[in-house]
Amino acid sequence: MTTREKVLVGIAVLLAALFVRLGFWQIERLRERQAYNEPIAARAGLAPVAREELPRDPEAARHRRVRLTGTYDYAHEIVLTLRSREGSPGVHLLTPLRIAGTDTAILVNRGWIYAPDGVSADTKPWREPDPVNAVGYVRLLETGDTTSARTAVRPDGIRRPHLATVAAMLPYPVAPYYVVLSSPGSDPERTPPRIPPPTLDEGSHRSYAVQWFTFALIAIGGTAILVLRGRRASGD
C-alpha cells in the first residue's frame, strides 16, 4: 500500500469512526426522547382527577389531567407575553383560581389572545364566567434563576412562568404548578383559544442516525473505490 493510499484509508477510518459515533449519539438522544415521552403519554391517557387527588410530588403530577372548581381572581391575572399561535403574535392568560377551603391559589392558563406586539392586549373581554368547572393538564412552574422572567413593558406581564416571580406578584400562596385548560368554556365569546398539549414526537433523531451511519459507509466504501481505481490505473 502506497503512502497516498495509507493517508486516504487513515482519513476514511477517522471520518467513519466520527460518523458512527455521531450516529450512536443520535440514537441516545432518541432513547432519551422516548423515555421522556413515555410517562407523559401514560399520564395524559389517564382519566382526570380532582385537584386534591393529584400526587403531592409536583414532578409526579406533571402532565396529569385534573378537574378544577373555584372562582377566578381577575384582579391579579398575569399575562405571559410573546406567545405565538399559528404564526400570529399574542399572549397567554394566566389567571389565579381561588378554591374554597384553601388559601393557596392555582394559576390557570386559560388560553391565547391576539396581541400585535406580543405584549399589549386587552384582557377584560376574555373574562369567563364563574363558577369554574374545567379540565386541564398540569405543567410545572419554573424554578431557579429569575433573570428575564419579568417584563417592564406591563406590570402584570411575565416572560416565563416562574414560581418565585409569580409568587411575588400575588397576595396569597400559589401552587408550584399551573394548569393549562383543555375543556371549552361556558361562554364561547369570552373563552380564549385553549393551548393544545405538547406534541410527543420523537424528533428527527432516527433519520439523523441513519444519515450518519450512511456517511460512515460512504467514507469507507468511497475510499475503497478510489484505492482500487488508482491501482488499476497504475497497473498494480
Mean pLDDT by 10 residues, the chain (236 residues): 78 92 94 86 86 89 93 97 95 96 96 96 93 92 86 90 95 96 91 87 89 92 82 68
Query: What was the pLDDT predicted at 45?
Result: 81
Distance CA 145, CA 160 (A): 11
Query: What was the pLDDT predicted at 236?
Result: 58
- Inter-residue contact 179 to 106 (CB < 8 Å): yes
Query: What was the pLDDT predicted at 209?
Result: 94
Query: What was the pLDDT predicted at 40?
Result: 80
Say which residue the cell 399520564 belongs to: 43
φ, ψ dihedrals at 3, nearest 5°: -60, -40
Distance CA 48, CA 28 (A): 33
Query: What was the pLDDT predicted at 153?
Result: 86
Distance CA 125, CA 37 (A): 37
Query: What was the pLDDT predicted at 235?
Result: 64
Query: What was the pLDDT predicted at 141?
Result: 95
- In this prediction the pTM is 0.76
Q: Identify which of 188, 190, 170, 169 has the alpha carbon closest to the alpha carbon of residue 124.
A: 190
Query: What was the pLDDT predicted at 232?
Result: 74
